[in-house]
Copies of this chain bind each other. A is one copy, B any other.
Amino acid sequence: MKEQPWWYGRLKDSGARLTEPREIVLEILRSAREHLTATDIYIQAHRMKPSIGLTTVYRTLELLIKLGIVQKFELGEGKARFELVDKPGGEGHHHLVCLKCRKIIDYSDITNDEKEFLSRVEDRLKRKYDFKILDHLMWFYGVCRECRGS
């Protein structure tokens, strides 16, 4: 039997069907090394199966977000970007954004130190604000080497 990706069960449990357009969108996200926009995904999907519509891409992304399989974020570009959520129980990852060229670096080598720190903060917030914390996002903004010159 073949190894199923981590999100497979989640999709099935939700009652949604794993249709071809959905498979294609997921495959595009899986193999992406950048953070794609809906249109990026549409263009690639369209190459694999020209009948796919942009609307379906949006709808698929919406579904996957609701299921916690895809994460959406906006960086002030006027359009959203999407990426597959890290496998649950894994490390998670954060982001470094260059304010000049808008390059985004995924930063996944989280130290134990950091993991411990984050859970401590989450604990504190939970107590203080009575919030059930499910996730966090950390973004660091700066200027990359190229954009600072030599």
Instruction: Tell me whether B138 and A142 are in contact (CB under 8 A).
Output: no
What is the CB-to-nearest-CB distance from A98 to chain B, in angstroms, rounded to a whole number?
A: 7
- Number of identical protomers: 2
Mark out the residues of chain A between 119 and 138 whose CB falls within 8 Å of any chain B CB in the assembled complex. 120-122, 124-126, 128-138
CB neighbours of A80 from chain B (8 A)? 74, 76
Assess whether A47 is interfacial by the CB under 8 Å rule: no
Instruction: Tell me whether A136 and B139 are in contact (CB under 8 A).
Output: yes
Bound: A140/B125 CA distance, A: 9
Instruction: Tell me whether A96 and B129 are in contact (CB under 8 A).
Output: yes
Instruction: Tell me whether B105 and A131 are in contact (CB under 8 A).
Output: yes
Bound: A143/B125 CA distance, A: 12
Partner of A132, one of B113, B126, B148: B148
What is the CB-to-nearest-CB distance from A60 to chain B, in angstroms, rounded to a whole number?
A: 16
Assess whether A145 is interfacial by the CB under 8 Å rule: yes
Q: What is the interface of chain A, defined by CB distance below 8 A to chain B?
A: 72-76, 80, 96, 98-99, 105, 107, 109, 111, 113-114, 117, 120-122, 124-126, 128-145, 148
8 A–B contacts, CB within 8 A, in A order: A72-B76, A96-B129, A105-B129, A113-B120, A129-B144, A131-B140, A131-B143, A138-B138
